[in-house]
Every structure is written in C-alpha cells, then in structure tokens.
Amino acid sequence: MPQYSFEIIFVNDGSKDGSISEIEKIADTDQNVRYIDFSRNFGKEVATTAGINFCKGDAAIMIDSDLQHPIELIPEFIKKWEAGSEVVIGVRKVNKSDGFVKKIGSYLFYKIINRISDVRIIPNATDFRLVDRNVIDEFNRFTETNRMTRALIDWLGFRRAYIYFDARKRVNGTASYNFTMLFKLAMRSFVSLSLLPLMVAGYLGVTITIISGVAGFYIMLGKYFFHTPFASTFSDSESLAILIVFLVGMILISIGLLAVYVANIHREVINRPMYVIRKKKI
C-alpha cells in the first residue's frame, strides 16, 4: 500500500532474552522502526497502552509479536477504515494452541462480563485491531492503571467493523499468560467494567436476612408452638451455631469483595506512572 507512510513501534515489556538488542539493530537500519524499552515487565495491557500513547499516525494497528495474527489481513483492516469504520476488530475463529480449560474459561468470562457490564464485548475479540486517530486521542485520556485495553476501546464506542481470522500457532517461545494471570485479568475486568460484584455483597446481605429470618421463624413456630417433627430436631445451640457459621461466611465473602474494590481505589489514588521507560526511539 504505497499510498501510506507508516511506522512500526516495538514495545519491549521487560524481556530478558535479548529482544531489545535485535530491535535496536533493526531500528538502526530502518527509519520506519521505533521502539519503547520498559525498565521491567509491566504487563501486556500496559505495553499495548504505551504503543497507543506514542503512535503518531492517522490510525494504529495493534498486533502481538508471537506471529499468531495474520499480517496479510492488514490491507483489509485499512479498507474497512477507509470505508468509515473507526475501530476495526480482529475476531479469532480458531486458536489451535488453546487447551480445553482455556476455552471453557474464555467462554465463561465472556458470558459473565456481558451479563454484568454495560459494555458489550465480542467473544474472542482480540487486540489485533485498527483504531482511528480520534479513538487514539480519546483512549489516551484514560488514567486507570488496572485496565483491559480492548474493553476500554469498546467502551468508547465509535463505528466498528469486524474481521474474522484463524489464529496461527506460535512460531517461537511459549505463552507467558498462564491460568493465574488470565484469572487476574478477568477479575480486573470485572472490577473496572461493572459495579455488580460490589453490589453482590448487598444482595447477599438481603438474601441471607430473608432466608435466615424465614428459617428462624419456621423453627421457632414449629418447635415451640406447632411441635412439627422436623423443627423439633433442632436444639437451640445447633440452630444458633448453624446460623452464626453461615452468617460469618457471608460476611467474609462481602469483606473480600469490598477489599477488591478498595485495592483498586488504592492503586488509582496513589497515581503512580503506568509504566517506566528505560530508553526509546520515537
């Protein structure tokens, strides 16, 4: 596509395998290549954010470095952008490297997030996407450090188009996102995109109050007034112990949910920089 000038920005997210040396060699011989070298690993979402922060073009295309995203589709992304789409999203049809557990986890994540969030997230949508300069400028206004990049772009709205593709196998290396990291990303997404987890504590409190009140009233009437066989089997200490254990468990769950939000508030309030750059060529 000779009608377009371009730049390629590599974001080295604290790798220790000599990647930055190879990137510097390429940048020294190719004036279109730029790079950002983090002082340590800050995570994929922050690395993607840095690339968006520093890009200068009328549009930007995000792509992973594991070569699973088919770069020959880039002209299709640009054609849809030329036709008026401000966000062109790559949606993965098949990923041969995904195991059964990851597929099930992904399915549940999208089901839950689309139930509790005001933002509709397309299942299997990827970070392989094109964003217009207007989208980039609005995205750069976000300040939260706990983020899921593609969810924030979806939150912005704008006109969208979709391109479906089959993911390829990794050429080199292994995926760094293990189950624990994916679970943490899912939890951060739930917290940042929905207040429902926080509200669940209140819903649980109301539900427990109703259930325990009805159960206690039934046992009291059945045992002391109507002498029903089932209610009479409960001693006073047993009834109290069951009730206390149940309520303590619910209180701990509620405290845990509140702690997630308090931790998120703490990270935002201290206002640390999202990333630290060791060196760059931009």
Name which of 128, 115, 45 is nearest 87 in CA terms: 128
CA dist 64 and 239 (Å) reads 57
**In this predicted structure, what is the pLDDT of residue 3?**
87
pLDDT digits (tens, 9 = 90+) for 10-24: 999 988 888 899 999
**Of 259 and 73, which is predicted with more confidence?**
73
pLDDT digits (tens, 9 = 90+) for 160-182: 999 998 877 767 666 555 556 66
**In this predicted structure, what is the pLDDT of residue 175?**
59
Residue 94 DSSP SS3: strand
Residue 272: pLDDT over 70: no
Percent of the chain with pLDDT over 70: 70
**Alpha-carbon dihedral 184, 190, 192, 195, rounded to 10 degrees:** -140
**In this predicted structure, what is the pLDDT of residue 217?**
74
Give the relative orientation of helices 44-54 and 149-156 as an angle to the nearest 10 degrees: 50
CA dist 85 and 94 (Å) reads 24
Q: Check residue 254 and report its DSSP letter.
A: H
The mean pLDDT of the chain is: 79
**Of 223 and 38, which is predicted with more confidence?**
38
Q: 43-194 has which fold? A: Spore Coat Polysaccharide Biosynthesis Protein SpsA; Chain A (3.90.550)
